[in-house]
């Protein structure tokens, strides 16, 4: 946008144009002139004009018809009529057809006209800022719609992931429950031992095995239930990570074969499982 505020004066009477030019130049405006509506339209097409002051009665095309075309093609320009005719019907037609912002009378009061023109430019700035604001709102709304679409997509993906994870957890929980039931109901004694020798799991059958007066309860230590040489085998199995088998290990008058199986994977070195046969 050019720095100077630009006014186009369209009037078929040159003395009117010259009179307005002398008055408005003092206010620092850039003044363009045309003697007909056709010439005025060409000037608007080639220049950045903010305000048009058009005579109403001109040969060929009237000011109202000219400004109606301007409204369609250059809607931001402030459109005004300056005329010596004060017929009410003419004024009404101008306002309705050309969407005229102001109607100036000839002859004009210089001070009032200058003030009115200042208000026209204020209106132009208001229209321009409103348009920029609307464009910004539209842009932000588009960005918000894009963000919302992205959030919907992410949420859909999360729901899908959560559904899959939930399904996996349900399967794992069922498998774990089944595994526990299998271990619990096995006809052989099974005991889980942590790396520090604590009993962390035992099935029903393990309760039948005792050493001395101590029972196999979770939280007890294997050293309180079995002789020290079993602890030595357990420590070695945890350290080496290989299956160990103790044959003919006497427990309460019965010889058992004890399988000492080390934990593997992420629990490697964390403990062993004892199976009594």
For the stretch 118-132, pLDDT in tens is: 999 999 999 888 888
C-beta contacts of 153-156 below 8 A and 24+ residues apart: none
Helices (H), 26-109: 37-46, 63-73, 88-98
Is 107 within 8 Å of 23 (Cβ atoms)? no
Q: What letter would DSSP give residue 181?
A: H
User: Hey, do 6-133 and 186-276 end up sharing a CATH topology, with the first three levels equal?
Assistant: no
Put the strands of the sheet holding 199-202 in their side by side order. Answer: 199-202, 190-194, 271-276, 254-262, 244-251
CATH of domain 186-276: 3.30.450.20
- Checking if the pLDDT of 28 tops 80, the result is yes
Q: Where are the domains of the chain?
A: 6-133, 186-276
- Which residues lie below 8 Å from residue 219, measured CB to CB, with a gap of 6+? 198, 199
How many beta carbons lie within 10 A of that of residue 32, not counting itself? 18
- Checking if the pLDDT of 210 tops 80, the result is no
Report the half-sphere exposure of 104 (CA within 13 A, side-chain side). 25
What per-residue confidence (pLDDT) applies to 213? 44
Spatial distance between the Cα atoms of 177 and 220, rounded to a whole number of angstroms: 24
Distance from first CA to last CA of the chain, Å, rounded?
96
Q: Six-digit token pair at 243?
A: 């299956």
C-beta contacts of 84-88 below 8 A and 24+ residues apart: 85/56, 85/57
What per-residue confidence (pLDDT) applies to 1? 43
pLDDT digits (tens, 9 = 90+) for 57-110: 888 888 888 998 999 999 889 999 888 766 656 566 656 665 788 888 888 888
pLDDT digits (tens, 9 = 90+) for 86-98: 665 656 665 666 5
The H or E element spanning position 202 is strand 199-202
Fold of domain 6-133: Rossmann fold (3.40.50)
């Amino acid at each position: 946008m050019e720095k100077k505020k630009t006014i186009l004066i369209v009037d078929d009477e040159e003395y009117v144009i010259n009179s307005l030019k002398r008055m408005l130049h003092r206010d620092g405006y850039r003044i363009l002139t045309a003697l007909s509506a056709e010439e005025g339209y060409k000037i608007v097409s080639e220049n950045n004009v903010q305000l048009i002051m058009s005579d109403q009665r001109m040969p060929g095309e009237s000011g109202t018809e000219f400004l109606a075309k301007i409204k369609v093609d250059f809607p931001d320009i402030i459109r005004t009529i300056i005329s010596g005719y004060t017929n009410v019907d003419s004024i009404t037609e101008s306002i309705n057809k050309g969407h005229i912002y102001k109607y100036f009378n000839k002859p004009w009061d210089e001070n009032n006209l200058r003030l009115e023109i200042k208000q026209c430019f204020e209106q132009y700035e208001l229209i321009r800022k409103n348009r920029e604001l609307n464009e910004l709102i539209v842009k932000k709304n588009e960005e918000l719609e894009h963000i919302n679409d992205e959030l919907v997509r992410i949420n859909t993906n999360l729901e899908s992931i959560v559904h899959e994870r939930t399904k996996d957890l349900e399967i794992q929980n069922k498998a774990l429950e089944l595994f526990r039931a299998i271990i619990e109901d096995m006809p052989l004694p099974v005991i889980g031992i942590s790396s520090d020798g604590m009993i962390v799991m035992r099935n029903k059958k393990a309760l039948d095995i005792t050493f001395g007066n101590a029972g196999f309860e979770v939280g007890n230590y294997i050293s309180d239930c079995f002789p020290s040489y079993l602890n030595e085998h357990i420590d070695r199995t945890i350290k080496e990570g290989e299956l160990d088998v103790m044959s003919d290990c006497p427990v309460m008058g019965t010889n058992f074969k004890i399988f000492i199986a080390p934990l593997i994977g992420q629990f490697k070195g964390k403990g062993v499982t004892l199976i009594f046969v």
